[in-house]
Structure 1
Amino acid sequence: MKDKLVIFWFRRDLRLQDNAGLLHALQSGYPVLPIFIFDTAILDQLPKNDPRVSFIHGSLQEMDQRLRNDFGSGLAQFHGKPLEVYKMLMDSYDVHTVYTNHDYEPYALERDRDVRNFLSQRGIGFEAFKDQVIFEKGEILKDDGTPYVVYTPYMKRWKAVFNQERNLRCYDTVPYLQNVLKMEHSPSCTLQEMGFEPSNITVPDAMLDSDLLANYGNTRDFPGLENGTSRLGPHLRFGTVSIRELVKQSLGKEVFWNELIWREFFMQILWHYPHTVTKAFKPKYDRIPWRMDLKDFEKWKTGQTGYPLVDAGMRQLNTTGYMHNRVRMLVASFLCKHLLIDWRWGEAYFAEKLLDYELSSNVGNWQWAAGSGVDAAPYFRIFNPMTQLQKFDKDRSYIQQWIPDLQEFSYPSPMVDHKTARERCLQVYRKALA
Structure 2
Amino acid sequence: MSAVMWFRRDLRLDDNPAWSAATSEHGEVTALFIVDQRLLDAAGDLRRNLLIANLNALDADLKERGGRLRIEAGEASSVLANHGGTVYWNADYSPYAIARDGRVRKQVERHEVFHGNFIHYPGHVLKDDGDPYRVFTPYYRRWIETDWPKVSMAEGTADIAGETGQGIPSGADPIIEPGT
TM over 0.5, yes or no? Answer: yes
Q: Aligned AA for 1:85?
A: V
Assess if the C-alpha contact under 8 Å between 1:99 and 1:127 holds in 2.
yes
Q: 1 CA distance for matches of 2:12 and 2:65?
A: 16
Offset at residue 167 of structure 1 (A): 5.1
**TM-score when normalising by structure 1:** 0.38
Shift of the alpha carbon at 1:168?
A: 6.8
1:101 equivalent among 62, 65, 90: 90
Residue 84 of structure 1 deviates from its aligned partner by: 3.3
Tell me, yes or no, if structure 1 residue 180 matches structure 2 residue 180. no
Size of the aligned set, in residue pairs, is 174
Q: Indicate the RMSD between aligned Cα atoms, in angstroms.
A: 2.1
Report the CA distance between 1:75 and its aligned residue. Answer: 0.8
Matched, 1:30 2:27: yes
Aligned twin of 2:115: 130
Which residue matches 1:71?
65
Q: Match for residue 47 of structure 2?
A: 52
2: distance between equivalents of 1:115 and 1:167?
A: 25
The structure in which a higher percent of residues are helix is 1
Q: How much has 1:77 moved relative to structure 2?
A: 1.3
Letter paired with 1:111: R
List gaps (5 residues or longer) in structure 1. 197-434
The CA deviation at 1:195 is 6.4
Q: CA deviation at 1:159?
A: 1.2
Distance 1:109 1:160 in 2: 28
User: SS of the residue aligned with 2:174?
Assistant: helix
Q: Is the 8 A contact 2:33 2:69 kept in 1?
A: yes
> What is the percent sequence identity of the aligned residues?
32
2-side partners of 1:189 and 1:66: how far apart?
A: 14
CA shift, 1:67, in A, is 1.7
Structure 1 stretches of 4+ moved >6 Å: none
Query: Which residue identity does 2:138 align to in structure 1?
Result: P
Change in Cα spacing, 1:96 to 1:54, as seen in structure 2 (3 Å) is same
> Which structure carries more relative contact order (alpha carbon 8 Å, separation 6+)?
2
Partner of 1:194, secondary structure, is: coil
1:171 is aligned to 153
Q: Determine the C-alpha separation between the residues in 2 that align with 1:195 and 1:100.
A: 23
Do the aligned residues in 2 keep the contact of 1:41 with 1:81 (CA within 8 Å)? no
* Matches of 2:161 and 2:94, distance apart in 1: 33
Question: What TM-score comes out, normalization by structure 2 length?
Answer: 0.86
What pairs up with 1:381-400 in 2 under 5 angstroms? none
Which is greater in Rg?
Answer: 1
Q: Whose strand fraction is larger, Structure 1's or Structure 2's?
A: 2
